[in-house]
Amino acid sequence: MYDGLAAVFGTKSIFQDLIPGKIPGGQDFENHIRQTIAESAFVLVLIGPGWLESSATATRPRLFDHAALVRREIEAALTGSCTTIPVCIAGAETPAPEQLPASIQSLLTRQVMHVRRGADFHRDMDELTARLSQHLAVAVRFEHT
């Protein structure tokens, strides 16, 4: 997915915290991510098949842990000014409201997109990038009027 988004929007426009070098050495990891979210037009919340699984030591998904970075990232996106898009990947389904903590349940009120594996992958990525591009064009048009 990163490669497909980067091909359309450029690598400097895409932030993924797991890519080495995206967060400068010595930077506060969480503060850098919060600032990046605040400056972003979009945040894609990728929901994979194991997204709601519990760790070996927990009985509930990590999203219920107030200290979980992924939960705090989603909360920051949902309360910020960016467009937050849930994207179900690799056959994952949209979770039910009771499967999420109350602080991120509003994610479920947003139109979900799907990026499937196999033959549908490129078509789904084309649709995702087209929707993002269309939204960016509208935002730019409003900025200049």
pLDDT tops 70 at residue 22: no
In this structure, of 7-21, 80-94, 98-112, 121-135, the range with the lowest mean pLDDT score is 7-21
pTM of the model: 0.84
pLDDT for 145 equals 44
Q: How many CB atoms lie within 10 A of CB 82?
A: 16
Helix (H) or strand (E) holding 74: helix 69-79
Measured CA to CA, the distance from residue 35 to residue 37 in angstroms comes to: 5
Which has the higher per-residue pLDDT, 60 or 48? 48
What residue spans define the domains of the chain?
28-50+59-143
Q: CATH number for the 28-50+59-143 domain, one of 3.40.50.300, 3.50.50.60, 3.40.50.10140, 3.40.50.2000?
A: 3.40.50.10140
42: closest CA among 97, 118, 111? 111
Instruction: Give the model's confidence band at 28: pLDDT under 50 very low, under 70 low, under 90 confident, else very high.
Output: confident
Using DSSP's 3-state secondary structure scheme, residue 136 falls into: helix
